[in-house]
């Protein structure tokens, strides 16, 4: 008898800065072989996949023809239905996910239930939304994690206007931040949280998400 197919909620930014095309394709392709995936974005808005090239543009043209490519709104998400939360690298995350109250409720559910969470590259900024009502306590304080380093972000044109610097936010709110050299594949696992430093870390991070969920499946007697 085959194992039940788990449901994974994939959170995407709908800001104009968008979602990394490379990270999304790798995350979606690998995760969809193991999970039933539901996309979600703020208010269910359409997603801009940035840094496309001729090869992945064809992939997106085919992908957008499917009904499953349309995200649902955070407000309609039933968090209890999902076994995993996946956030690909998203340059737009600092603008519309980092302080999103509806997303905060979803992520808080995963923290309480200790369900696997995987955030990659600039998508790690989405985790910043989990603040206490008084704004003094962060849901991931004491967690070890990675994300884009200041040096990686400093290469981008919008660095001076970023509302959140992930490395600084983690350190300032009680998290333990660690990074490798620029553009290196670097993944950190702490409890049920998996974080990848950059888009290059996507495959390694999602592979670990798959393994973590497999460990949580009830095993049938032989």
Tokens of 192: 């049920």
Q: How far is CA 151 from the centre of its chain?
A: 21
Place of tokens 């660095």: 159
Q: Which residue has the higher pLDDT, 160 or 24?
A: 24
DSSP strands (E only) in the chain: 6-11, 19-20, 35-41, 49-50, 72-73, 84-87, 117-120, 144-145, 176-177, 187-190, 193-196
- The mean per-residue pLDDT over the stretch 204-216 comes to 94
Is residue 32 pLDDT above 70, yes or no?
yes
Look at residue 87 and give its three-state secondary structure: strand
- The mean per-residue pLDDT over the stretch 21-40 comes to 96
Q: How far apart are CA 77 and CA 221, in angstroms?
A: 33
At 221 the pLDDT is 47
- pLDDT grade for 2, boundaries at 50, 70 and 90: low
Is residue 95 pLDDT above 50, yes or no?
yes
Is residue 159 pLDDT above 60, yes or no?
yes
Q: Which residue has the higher pLDDT, 136 or 210?
A: 210
DSSP 180-191: -STT---EEEET
- The mean per-residue pLDDT over the stretch 167-185 comes to 96
At 222 the pLDDT is 44
Among residues 96, 88, 1, 3, the alpha carbon closest in space to that of 37 is found at: 88
Is residue 1 pLDDT above 70, yes or no?
no
Which positions ≥6 away from 14 have C-beta within 8 Å? Answer: 41, 42, 43, 45, 46, 47, 48, 71, 92, 96
Entry pTM: 0.94
């Amino acid at each position: 008898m085959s194992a039940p197919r788990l449901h994974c909620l994939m959170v995407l930014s709908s800001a104009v800065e968008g979602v990394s095309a490379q990270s999304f394709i790798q995350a979606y392709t690998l995760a969809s072989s193991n999970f039933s995936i539901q996309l979600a974005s703020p208010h269910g808005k359409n997603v801009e996949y940035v840094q496309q090239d001729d090869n992945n543009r064809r992939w997106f043209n085919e992908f957008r023809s499917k009904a499953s490519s349309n995200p649902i709104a955070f407000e309609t998400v039933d968090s209890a239905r999902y076994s995993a939360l996946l956030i690909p690298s998203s340059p737009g995350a600092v603008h519309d996910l980092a302080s999103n109250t509806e997303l905060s409720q979803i992520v808080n559910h995963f923290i309480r239930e200790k369900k696997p969470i995987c955030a990659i590259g600039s998508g790690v900024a989405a985790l910043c939304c989990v603040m206490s009502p008084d704004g003094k306590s962060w849901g991931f304080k004491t967690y070890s994690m990675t994300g884009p380093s200041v040096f990686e972000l400093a290469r981008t044109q919008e660095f001076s206007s970023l509302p959140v610097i992930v490395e600084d936010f983690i350190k300032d709110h009680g998290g333990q931040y660690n990074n490798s050299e620029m553009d290196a594949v670097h993944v950190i696992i702490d409890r049920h949280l998996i974080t990848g430093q950059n888009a290059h870390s996507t495959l390694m991070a999602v592979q670990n998400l798959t393994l973590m969920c497999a460990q949580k499946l009830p095993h049938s007697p032989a």
